[in-house]
Structure 1
Amino acid sequence: MKLSSKLTLFIAGSKLVTVLLFILVLPYLVKEIANQHTNFTLRQQQKKVMAIVHKNGLDDYLQGESSYGSYTLLKEEFIAFSPSAANVQIDTIKDSQRLIEGDTLNYRILSATFKYADKNYLLEIGKNTSISQYHKPLQRFALYGLITLIAMTMLIDLIFIRIIIQPLSSIIKTKLVNNDFPFRAEQLPVPTSTSDFKYLDDSLRLLMTQINDAFYKEREFTSNASHELMTPITILQNKMENLLDEEGLSDESAIAIVEMMKTVDRLKKITSSLLLISRIENEQYIRKEHVIPLQLFEEIIEEIKHRLEDKNISIKLNIAGDMEFQHVNRDLIYQLFFNLIHNAIKFNRQDGQITITGVTTADGCFQVQVSDTGIGIPKEDLPFIFNRFTKTNLSSQVGYGLGLAIVKSIAAYHAIKIAVESDIGEGTTFTLIFKFKTK
């Protein structure tokens, strides 16, 4: 999931949780606010009533009665005076219910005792608290209002997030996605005012530059070393051949020289392979030829026919004659498939089989599969078979671990996608997809 999507979901989720909590707490908040307001109103009314009592006397209310009680027309408020015990001191505000004319009403009641004419009286001032009936409408109103607010703020947040992380998206697209190695295009800095993104971009550009430098230095060393080694190897090989031609050479010495010549020959083949890989990576080959794959495979089979006969291996070609590789180097493509078929013979069983199939994919590209019935490759070795000087655990044949490295270099040079599937004891299949269109 993209960072922008995660941020949007987090913000939306946190806001939704906040709204839900607010909706749940809303009745308690409303009640508390209403109680505080009512308490203040009751205290103000208490001051007014006591001011009237002190000015006009309590008889102004009692009118000769022992107690007094009065309600407003809609029974929203009431005031009452009643005698109280001499030792009772009360000054409270609390919720209570009163039965008035058959109706049970909820009131917030202030109760306070005071002395008048050496007698204790209880003053009660009540105010109706029917706010609870508005809880659900308030909740609905708050819910709709807040959801609308959330939708608006989410849209704003989404736009803001996209603007903020746009440099990160640019860094990913220009530095990480579809950026083939080695990095040929100049790595330009991504404009951003965010220091973290700027640091990331600068670090990636520095890292890519260092990787490129190391890669080209290695490539240059391999090319120079392979090229320089060919001359002394050839001279050494010629000198050994001349030694064999000398008269009076003992059999033991001749055998030793032959063994040394075999070692020098292996060194020469390794050096030639490394030089070939280096030239491919340095793009010293032209890719302008068109090749008919059926003809190419027939030539390879003819050249390698004696190896097939040695192990009595049959080979099947399932490729249409009108198929054509375009804009390739014929010698390199020949070497690529020669190495694959050579390996298919080398690691095949006696009386085995090799199948070469070529088909056009749904998107118009050309796919070639080279399958054998050989010993197979262990699953743990598959990720490393294209590395140089790597041989599988089952490989007991003579080899230098460069055949598939050459295949990989040629495939990369021609932008050919290559994949491998293998099962121990059943065989291996190499699949190559040519990205250019077929004829």
Structure 2
Amino acid sequence: MKLLNQSIKYLSVSIFLIVTIWSAIFYINMLDEIHDSIDDGLDNYKLLIIKRTEKDERVFEKKDFEEGNFTIHKIDEKEALGMRDYFTDTLLYMQNEDDLEPVRMLTSAFKHGEDYYRLTVFNSTVEEDDLIEDLFYSIIWLYIILVASIVLINNVVLQRLWKPFYLLLGDLKAFRIDKESPIPVVKGDTKEFKELELAVNSLIIHARETYANQKKFTENASHELQTPLAIISNKLELMLERESLDHENAEIVGQILQTIQRLTRLNKSLLLLTKIENKQFSENAEISINRVVAQSVEDLKEFADYREVKISVDNSSEIQVKMDENLASILVGNLIRNAIFHNIEGGNVTIILVENSLIIRNTGNSLPLDSEKVFTRFHKETKKSNSTGLGLAIVHAICKLYTFQIVYSFDGEHCFEVKMG
């Protein structure tokens, strides 16, 4: 989840809880105030009725609610002394009304002369209930509008606040260390983003220096090592052509020449691997893997015939990928060469192109390879001295460069599958 979305989420949850609690407290307080107002009115009405009893004896004739908003009943002293004023909410039939209506009722006791009476006073709460209902829905709408408004405002504010960060992040994603791209700059005066800009720029400058040194070393090594190796090879070949060498010395010189040739291949492979990992190949174009496979099979035909290995190609699908043409040839060529080199006499190599996947199967050792080490540099399953142990490591590096997935499996035959899409 994006940092912006996380900030909005935490703020929204916090605001939701705060506003929810505030709304509940506000509603309860308003409800309590309305009830207090009704109760105060009933208390005043009670006092007025008691006061009327002192002047008008007819008040004691109110025995039911059909004649007014109160009733008076005579009670004994014990019941009166044990009674305390209490309020209740109930429903009553009102005059000129056919339906029950909500009322709030006060029950009290008072003494008149030597007698005790129970006084029941009520007040209709229809209007108050309507007010409470309107208040409830008003709070709900206010709650929704308030939460939505705060979340929306926070979203806009946070987007504006984090905009420099996301612009910097976009510049970093598009930044290429091997290109003369300008160093990303943070727009704005936010202190933390300025510190982030300084830290990122410091890392970029250091990485560029390291990359330039590695590139320079690679280029120098390519020239400075290959040249003397070529000279040594030429001189050794000249020595072998001389008739003055006896058989034993000629055999020793031949072994040295083979070692020099292996060292040359090893040097080229290491330099190639370094260039791939440094992403020094950027001439990408639409490449037909089918065409690359056909070319590689043609180039390795003599090697396969020498090893008595039969190659078959199944072009079930046409595979087009965008990558460097030289790396595509190296990727396919190394896999096919590996399948031929580690095969058995009279064995088979099957190449299948299907649904953006290149599958190369070959006969060979009856035991599976170590899937955790098969793509490791200098890892060898055999003791053959001609192998540099870098072929599959180069294949793996190319796949990693183009985010391809390469998988090894064994089902009686060794299988390498490169998933390109």
* TM-score w.r.t. length of structure 2: 0.65
Deviates most, 309-318 or 91-100: 91-100
The residue aligned with 1:427 is 414
Structure 2 vs 1, CA of residues 194 and 417 (structure 1 numbering), >3 Å: closer, same or farther? same
Please state how far the C-alpha of 1:287 moved relative to its aligned partner: 6.0
Structure 1 residue 175 displacement after superposition? 1.7
The correspondence for 1:166, drawn from 163, 172, 190, is 163
Which residue of 207, 210, 222 maps to 1:214? Answer: 210
In structure 2, the partner of 1:269 is 265
Displacement, 1:333?
Answer: 5.3
Q: Secondary structure at the match of 2:372?
A: helix
CA distance 1:160–1:219, change in 2 (3 Å): same
In structure 1, how many angstroms separate the alpha carbons of the residues matched to 2:151 and 2:170? 26
Output aligned runs, 1:160-309, within 5 Å. 160-176=157-173, 182=178, 185-234=181-230, 261-276=257-272, 300-309=296-305
Cα distance in 1 for partners of 2:91, 2:415 equals 93
Where does residue 147 of structure 1 map in the other structure? Answer: 144
State whether structure 2 residue 360 is matched by structure 1 residue 371: yes
Deviation at 1:342, TM superposition (A): 0.8
1:62 Cα deviation after fit? 0.9
**2:379 corresponds to 1:391:** yes
Q: Does the CA-based 8 Å contact 2:178-2:280 persist in structure 1?
A: no
Q: Note the C-alpha offset of 1:308.
A: 1.5
Match of 1:364 in 2: none
Give 1:296 shift: 6.2
Q: Which residue of 2 aligns with 1:346?
A: 341
- When structure 1 is superposed on structure 2, of 272-281 and 218-227 the one drifting more is 272-281
Q: Aligned to 1:380, what secondary structure does the other structure show?
A: coil
Alpha-carbon shift at residue 201 of structure 1 (Å):
4.3
Partner of 1:313: 309
Please report how far the alpha carbon of residue 400 of structure 1 lies from its aligned counterpart in structure 2 after TM superposition: 2.4
Q: Deviations over 1:71-123 (max 9, x none)?
A: 9x99998799x9998xx899977658899999998547597999x99x99999
1:270, CA displacement in angstroms? 1.6
The range that moved more, 373-382 or 166-175, is 373-382
User: Do the aligned partners of residues 38 and 197 (structure 1) sit closer, same or farther apart at CA in structure 2, a change above 3 Å counting?
Assistant: farther
**Is 2:183–2:201's contact at 8 Å kept on the other side of the alignment?**
yes
User: Which amino acid letter does the alignment assign opposite residue 409 of structure 2?
Assistant: D
Task: Tell me how many residue pairs correspond in the alignment.
Answer: 407
Change (3 A) 1:200 1:282: closer
Q: CA–CA distance in 2 between the matches of 1:186 and 1:160?
A: 29
Q: Contact between 1:38 and 1:127, CA under 8 Å: does it hold in 2?
A: no
Output the CA distance in 1 between the equivalents of 2:155 and 2:184.
28
Classify the secondary structure of the residue corresponding to 2:406: strand
Partners of 2:87 and 2:207 in 1: CA distance: 78
Query: Percent of pairs identical after alignment?
Result: 20
Pairwise CA distance, 1:188: 1.8
Alpha-carbon contact 1:314-1:351 (below 8 Å) kept: yes
* 8 Å contact kept, 2:184–2:197: no
User: Residue 423 of structure 1: SS of its match in structure 2?
Assistant: strand
